[in-house]
Every structure is written in structure tokens, then in C-alpha cells.
Amino acid sequence: MTFLRERGLGISVVVALAITAVFALWISPRDIEQGEAVRLLYLHVPTIWIAFLAFFVTALSSVLWLVPRTRSTTWDLLAGASAEVGVVFTGITLVVGSLWGRPTWGTYWVWDARLTTTAILFFLYLGYLALRRTGSTAEERGKRCAIAALIAFADVPIVHFSVTWWQTLHQSGTVFNNKISVQIHGSMAFTLLWSVASFTLFYVYLVMRRLQLAELEEGLEERELEIAITERVRAEQVVPV
């Protein structure tokens, strides 16, 4: 990706997010039930969508790394990059969700299935990121992390279906729910879709930047290893008499 293209994407992300903020905070109307608190959903919904997308990309990249025919360092780095972005967005989802819960439910937090499984998701991927930092060969680390990513991903469908499988305070899906007749104001629907699209664009940009950084980190690691080997060879050449 050239510098100009990268800059262009960055500027598009900033503009798209600014439009999201304007629609979410000013243009879209207040909800008949939730009042102004509905404005938090234009953040909450896209951030959890990005978290799911990020963890899906991590799982897919991990599978591609595990299959010998498609194995490449890029898949391992992409898995790590996407997981890190996913953790950031899951953290924001949890905080924004709590801030929405206080005026709507009267509490910041309840240990219901949706909230608890989302918190578990956050900690599972924090553990995954910690695992990526453990020292070993690239091959060993890649294998260990790919398996961990697939185990952690098992929580994503649990989070999604938790509202169907258990009685929860968190409501089930609304906008795309066929069982209920949904009526949503045009500008509310637009704001929601626009925010999901702009955050998706932001995710693409962040993963690209994080992947570049991961490649630089790999380069630095290799260079440090080369320096260490050269120094050792030099030290061995100076044989004591």
C-alpha cells in the first residue's frame, strides 16, 4: 500500500467517523422508549460488530497458518493484529454498554449471560495477546497462538446466542429480528448503518497499520538476532591463551 493510498484511507476514516458523530449526536432523533440514551447504541452496536469481525479474522488467519499448504508468517501476524484491534473494541463495547445500561436498566452491570460472556471474550483475547508475547521459536509460538485463537473464538457464537439461549436483561436482536415487527425512523436506521460501515473502514485501516507495525517488529527481532549471533561468533574467535 502506497503512502498516498494509506493517507487517503486514513482521511476517509476520519471523515466517516465525524459524519457518524454528527448524525449520532445531533441529527438522529431521540428514541420513544430510551430517550437520548439511544445515541450510545450508534457506538455500542458497531464496536461489538468490529470485535466479532476482528476475532473472526483472527480465527480464519489462524486456520490458514495451521494448514501446511497455506502457512505463512503473514497469517500469524494478521491474526495478532486483528486480535489486538478486537480487544480494543471489546473494551469500548463493555464501557459504552455499561454507560447505556445505567440510565436504561438502572445499573452499570449485571452478571447476565450476554454481559458475562462478553467480559469473558475480552479476557480470553487479552490472554491470547499475552500468549503472543511469550518467548519461543516463531513456529512454536504460531502453533500455540493459532490453537488458542480457535479455542477463544468458540465464545463468539456463545456471546451472540446468549440472549436466545438464556433469560437475560440484555435484549435480543431488534433491527434484523423477523419475529417482531420493527419500525425504525429513517435517520436512525441510516445512522446505525453508517456507523457500522465507518467503523468497519476504521477496522481495515487499523489492522493494516498494526500489520505494518508487526512486520517492523519481526524485522527488528531478526536484526537483533543477527547482531547477537555476530557478537557471539566474534567472541568465540578471540580464543583465550
Partner 1 sequence: MEHVWGYVIAGYVVAAVGLTTYVGWLFRRTRRLRRLLRGDADG
Sites of contact with partner 1 (CB under 8 A)? 21, 24-25, 35-37, 39-40, 43-44, 47, 88, 91-92, 95-96, 99-100, 102-103, 202, 206, 209-210, 212-213, 216-217, 219-220, 223
At closest approach, how far in Å is the CB of 120 from partner 1? 20
Q: Which is nearer to partner 1, 88 or 196 (CB)?
A: 88
Q: Which is nearer to partner 1, 35 or 157 (CB)?
A: 35
How far is residue 76 from each of residues 61, 64, 126, 128, measured CA to CA in Å?
7, 9, 16, 12
At closest approach, how far in Å is the CB of 44 from partner 1? 8
Residues composing the chain = 241
Quick count: other Cβ atoms within 10 Å of Cβ 176? Answer: 6
In the three-class reduction of DSSP (H, G, I as helix; E, B as strand; rest coil), residue 231 is classed as helix
At closest approach, how far in Å is the CB of 63 from partner 1? 26
Q: Which is nearer to partner 1, 120 or 211 (CB)?
A: 211
Q: Which is nearer to partner 1, 91 or 131 (CB)?
A: 91
CA-nearest of 118, 116, 117, 99 to 108 is 99
Q: Which is nearer to partner 1, 12 or 212 (CB)?
A: 212
- In the 3-class helix/strand/coil scheme, how is 150-206 assigned residue by residue? HHHHCHHHHHHHHHHHCCCCCCCCCCCCCCCCCCCCHHHHHHHHHHHHHHHHHHHHH
At closest approach, how far in Å is the CB of 74 from partner 1? 17
At closest approach, how far in Å is the CB of 150 from partner 1? 25
